[in-house]
Amino acid sequence: MSEQKKYDVIVIGGGIVGLMLVAHLGRAGFKVALVERSSPLFPLPDVRVSAINRASRQAFRTLGLWSSLESTRLTPYENVLVWAEGGDEKILFESRELGEPNLGYVIENNVMKKALWEYLPTFKDVDCFSPAEYIHLERQGNGGFQVQLQDGFCLTSALIVGADGANSKLRAKFAGVAPQEWGWSHNQKAIVAMVRTELPHEMTARQRFLKSGPLVFLPLWEPTLCSIVWTNSTQQADTWMAASPLVFCKALEEAFQSQLGSVELLTERFSFPLVLKHAKRYCEEGIVFIGDAIHTIHPLAGLGLNLGIQDAVCLAKVLIDAREKNHPLGHVADLRRYERFRKGPNWGTSLFIESVKWFLGETPPIFLQQRALRFAHHFSLMKHFFARQALSV
């Protein structure tokens, strides 16, 4: 007979967002099970990196993990330079103009995952099942859930959290939440890789908006090391993925107007299809979703993970609050509170990014776009507003 284990909360998916939630709940004394499909291996360097804002830094700080991230490897960036195809106007965002030491940090995803993963054994009431996947997940008569894992464990809890990413199988299973979503495919793919540049990045993130999609060079821990995110139509991206490193680098240099001189490809390339998606509902009785499982946005402003981390922090706070009021765990009224808190920022950010993408990349007349860029560059109030939004201060 399979071993049965009882928890307060079962979290399906141990990406950074799921791990962040488990860490915050573990710290608050909840009995939590994490079920993650892949093995806990975090090789470095990791081609997947993320720009992290102040709110996400605070989430790590609350756990006491920020200093360990700082001592591992992260890159603060001080400036962001943005320009568009078809003109010479540029906007430069500078941290010193805002009175901030930097505008954010670029961190390898595996550095964050490892720090969170190694933190979880601190809590005796947190169990991590990994690599593990559920083969059966169903609601019981008492409203709670039973989760059967492949390796024979049977877990039960009053609340299930879906943190299983953009292709959430769990959301697809729960018809009440699943089919209602808003969005579209961008018909684009983003190629990511690490490159060595001829010229130093000078702690500056640079982004050029092309008609075919934005191209960003994020600064990494060595002066001439950058992470690129290059968005193209699906067909063009597939062509660049198949091209030889030499051909790829030449095209990359050209698309970037050789701003950092010649470019050498250091790693494998990975490509990701881009979809804008937003779930209309985040929860129902006993089940709730966070992170990419409920919203995916274009990576041009580097905010998707930051939103997911705030979902995790917010849900943990709502559950702690509900426990203090002696509410039953997974009560839909509490889960709806979380949904209300997070929907505004998540929707707002999606719409903001779509507007930037449209205005700088796609359809507006070039003279209008260039004038707007010039205006934005010289109108510091506006610049500060955008920078503070991205920084989340």
Ligand X SMILES: Cc1cc2nc3c(=O)[nH]c(=O)nc-3n(C[C@H](O)[C@H](O)[C@H](O)COP(=O)(O)OP(=O)(O)OC[C@H]3O[C@@H](n4cnc5c(N)ncnc54)[C@H](O)[C@@H]3O)c2cc1C
Pairing label, strands 225-233, 104-108: unpaired
Q: How far is the CB of 155 from ligand X (least distance, A)?
A: 12
Q: How far is the CB of 106 from ligand X (least distance, A)?
A: 7
* Residues that contact ligand X, how many (by CB under 6 A): 32
Q: Residue 356, Cβ neighbours under 10 Å: how many? A: 17
Upstream peptide bond of 45 is cis (omega within 30 degrees of 0): yes
Interacting positions 184-223 with ligand X (CB under 6 A): 190, 192
Binding flag, residue 164, ligand X (CB under 6 A): yes
Helices (H), 161-293: 169-173, 234-242, 245-255
Q: Residue 92, Cβ neighbours under 10 Å: how many? A: 14
Site string for ligand X, 31-70 (x = CB under 6 A): ----xxxx-----------xx-------------------
Helices (H), 301-331: 304-324
Binding flag, residue 16, ligand X (CB under 6 A): yes
Binding flag, residue 18, ligand X (CB under 6 A): yes
Binding flag, residue 13, ligand X (CB under 6 A): yes
Site string for ligand X, 281-320 (x = CB under 6 A): ----------xx------x--xxxxx-x------------
With respect to ligand X, which residue has the nearer C-beta, 269 or 369? 269
Binding flag, residue 165, ligand X (CB under 6 A): yes
Q: How far is the CB of 159 from ligand X (least distance, A)?
A: 16
Binding flag, residue 237, ligand X (CB under 6 A): no
Tell me the C-alpha distance between 48 and 57, whole Å: 18
Binding flag, residue 377, ligand X (CB under 6 A): no
Q: In this structure, are residues 61 and 23 in contact, taking their beta carbons and an 8 Å threshold?
A: no
Which is it for the CA torsion 41, 52, 99, 228, positive or negative? Answer: positive
b/e 303-324 (16+ beta carbons within 10 angstroms → b): bbbbbbbbbbbbbbebbeebbe
Pairing label, strands 90-94, 104-108: unpaired
With respect to ligand X, which residue has the nearer C-beta, 308 or 369? 308
Binding flag, residue 335, ligand X (CB under 6 A): no
Q: Could you tell me how many residues make up the chain?
A: 393
Task: Report the residue from 90, 139, 169, 173 that binds ligand X according to the rule CB under 6 A.
Answer: 169
Going along 258-363, which residue ranges are E strands?
263-265, 270-279, 283-284, 287-289, 295-296
- What does the binding site for ligand X look like in residue numbers (CB under 6 A)? 12-18, 35-38, 50-51, 133, 163-166, 169, 190, 192, 229, 272, 291-292, 299, 302-306, 308
